[in-house]
Structure 1
């Protein structure tokens, strides 16, 4: 297989395109198929419409299937539009059922049915089954292409069967054993089979301690389980422990990427607007309502400052520290929010306890507050004519504010999680706005009480 670096990729891609345009089909196929599928996709990206028409004609359905699986969803849609339904069905026949289901799930029902009608009955049934599961569950991301073993089979017979069936299976490193009712009874690794005697039975080689996931389990929980045990795959079972499919590590990587993108979007209030393929208008349409909402929340902060107008009139200098105080408290709150949301996502708090986590975050906020207060006590008198008491007011306010900000940033996502909602919706901007209100109230309350000493 040819491996390309950044310097040679562009030149080699152009060389392949020249071969295609010159009608050197045999040479093109040989050179093109020697590339990694990811590099093949980059060559396809550079093809013009007439190049792609010729390309489709000289490639087999199985070869096109490998390329199709590497494309992003929008690119898959564009490529599918250039095919006839019959060609699409042939290509999908060579793809894993879960990859086909992912694509068809994004199409209109009429388009989906037209494609399913053209597929072989067995393939179509597998895809329909996957489409029937609720999104973001183990059933929706599992694959049906796996090899079942039975306890009574001999190791030698299994190895012979693997030579025939392995090319169509998604994963053969783990092989799952079922009984007559298709209930999961054990697991055996390919390594165990290779070192076992050919006359031994699978039941004597396999392990009965199987870690499985339920078909309706959340995909994030499935991904965490596979990460926890360092599995390459996990079996998916029904309520009656019947083996339905497997979730593989490549699916888990996609899940982590999807969940991380979703959490980032929630944190930054850009949900639905993180896709680079949408237009500026679409992105603005999704993001503007959040900005307007946060703007109105910001008016609450302005209203609180207005309540302390008399204090500000007497010591105008107090207003100079408002941005610093709000920014510092907001940053600490957002940090605590990120720590707690990440801990909830990884299940860390189940092992270490919620109370311990809250105490740690509160202590962290107070320690940061002490450090900031001491720094302000040293700097403010230096820059503001030796006004030590002003430094004390600002320093004490920031000490209290940062401790409370850490608690707010920790508690809010925990409350949301207890309501069975995604804790990431306690996004940074909302937490920051709430903390702004609290910190400003603390600041001016302390300043008002101690105004006589300024």
Structure 2
């Protein structure tokens, strides 16, 4: 029997116990008796168990699940593991699963696997479902059309509540979203929206046209997925209708798809901020990971060599005041840190929804300049006092403190200006990565630091 959660064990421990119970049940021929208990677990939990159990047990485990549960479980697996599971199921059962999968999820899956596998899976599906998935695959993967599903419930305006409820019951198994219900005219154009709550509270003889709201937030199929996600945030939506160029309703973007978009976009920006434009995770092959990281690092390596040339230019200053070398890492590090902070603030604010006009840019630059001055003054005075007492030279402390003030201001402004320029040039500002900003700021900071020291060298020797 599957162990129930009656104690204070963690979810991970529960899943480990479940995995052991399933393997024991398969070995003793009792797996089918556990079917009803397996249905009580979340699809994600079952997917975790599927990956944990011995591969030889996977066919029996999947055969013990109802088709609906099996379909939802497979959707939680990574693409290649999911495809492998479909092959294990065999042609007939795999076809049942594919026909029940959300078409948008299936289109995403098929877009990530080799063409031979894709065509095989499409060939075993029902004709209607197959053509629908092919149509979804024609949309850009990062557009509203690319993330929408065509499984939604709609009515004509002249439907009564009784007729509408019957239709919801009939199609409830084919869609996960019955919260928002769409009202169409004879041309299949969206004219209104109602909710299941409205139906429950209305009289059976009421007409849908009297319940629906006509001011519906909708998007074209080619809208960027980031803009769609922003509209969900603005209007607190559960789903959003998608129209074609003729104004006909062709699909719906649901909230779970938007969560995937937000996660993917965040990962993309993080990858770029870390100077790689492709995802690298625990499963990435070492050679692949190295190839993805190397291009940016080679560029940064040669930029870093310029730092050495700057130091060589000021070799005379360094030879006269060796103590200047003690503070080089601090000056360069603080400049890079403030630049990276500003970069993060700017990139977080940029997006399809941002109106980056002259007024906005001026306000942002002014704000960051003031921030840089305040941080620079506080840090500059602090390090000036420390350096002055440490080296018994307040002139040296003043030079270091003033240099730090200037470099922090420069670093802050660089982290602000560079992504804005890239944004205006239609280049993803996230490519102004943390390592790039840090390297450029090293060049700026060392130039300012040694330049200032050279100007005031007579006071330091």
Which stretch shifts more, 134-143 or 277-286?
A: 277-286
Which stretch shifts more, 91-100 or 196-205?
A: 196-205
CA distance in 1, matches of 2:307, 2:173: 63
Given the alignment of the two structures, is residue 145 of structure 1 paired with residue 188 of structure 2, yes or no? no
Q: Give the superposition deviation at 1:333.
A: 0.4
Which stretch shifts more, 349-358 or 364-373?
A: 349-358
CA contact (8 A) 1:349 1:357 kept: no
Q: Give the superposition deviation at 1:145.
A: 0.4
Task: Identify which of 239, 253, 269 aligns with 2:245.
Answer: 239
SS at match of 1:277: coil
Which stretch shifts more, 202-211 or 274-283?
A: 274-283
Q: Give the superposition deviation at 1:59.
A: 3.7
Structure-to-structure mapping, 1:280-295, within 5 angstroms:
280-295=286-301
Structure-to-structure mapping, 1:207-222, within 5 angstroms:
207-222=213-228
Task: Identify which of 367, 372, 391 aligns with 1:365.
Answer: 372
Given the alignment of the two structures, is residue 46 of structure 1 paired with residue 52 of structure 2, yes or no? yes
- Length-normalised TM-score, structure 2: 0.94
Q: Give the superposition deviation at 1:346.
A: 7.9
Given the alignment of the two structures, is residue 379 of structure 1 paired with residue 379 of structure 2, yes or no? no
Task: Identify which of 167, 188, 193 aligns with 1:161.
Answer: 167
Residue in structure 1 matched with residue 412 of structure 2 by the alignment = 406
Q: Give the superposition deviation at 1:348.
A: 5.6
Which stretch shifts more, 35-44 or 1-10?
A: 1-10
Structure-to-structure mapping, 1:304-453, within 5 angstroms:
304-345=310-351, 347=353, 353-385=360-392, 387-453=393-459
Residue in structure 2 matched with residue 72 of structure 1 by the alignment = 78
Please list the CA deviations of residues 179-202 of structure 1 after superposition, one character each: whole Å capped at 9, or x if unmatched.
Answer: 111111111122222222222221
CA contact (8 A) 1:343 1:349 kept: no
Q: Give the superposition deviation at 1:115.
A: 1.6
Please list the CA deviations of residues 100-135 of structure 1 after superposition, one character each: whole Å capped at 9, or x if unmatched.
Answer: 111111122232122212110111111001110112
1:262–1:393 CA distance, 2 compared to 1 (3 A)? same
Given the alignment of the two structures, is residue 82 of structure 1 paired with residue 77 of structure 2, yes or no? no
Please list the CA deviations of residues 307-339 of structure 1 after superposition, one character each: whole Å capped at 9, or x if unmatched.
Answer: 112211221211221111110000000000000
Which stretch shifts more, 110-119 or 344-353?
A: 344-353
CA distance in 2, matches of 1:81, 1:277: 22
Residue in structure 2 matched with residue 252 of structure 1 by the alignment = 258
CA distance in 2, matches of 1:354, 1:241: 36
CA distance in 2, matches of 1:74, 1:234: 30
- Length-normalised TM-score, structure 1: 0.95
CA distance in 2, matches of 1:154, 1:121: 32
Residue in structure 2 matched with residue 177 of structure 1 by the alignment = 183
CA RMSD of aligned residues (A): 1.9
CA distance in 1, matches of 2:441, 2:396: 22
CA distance in 2, matches of 1:32, 1:191: 31
Q: Structure 2 unaligned segments of length 5 or more: list them.
A: none
Residue in structure 2 matched with residue 303 of structure 1 by the alignment = 309
CA contact (8 A) 2:140 2:146 kept: yes
Given the alignment of the two structures, is residue 34 of structure 1 paired with residue 32 of structure 2, yes or no? no
How many correspondences in the alignment? Answer: 453
Residue in structure 1 matched with residue 135 of structure 2 by the alignment = 129
SS at match of 1:358: helix
Q: Give the superposition deviation at 1:286.
A: 1.5
Given the alignment of the two structures, is residue 110 of structure 1 paired with residue 116 of structure 2, yes or no? yes
CA contact (8 A) 1:337 1:410 kept: yes
Q: Give the superposition deviation at 1:30.
A: 2.0
CA distance in 1, matches of 2:325, 2:123: 70
SS at match of 1:70: coil
1:300–1:85 CA distance, 2 compared to 1 (3 A)? farther
Q: Structure 1 unaligned segments of length 5 or more: list them.
A: none
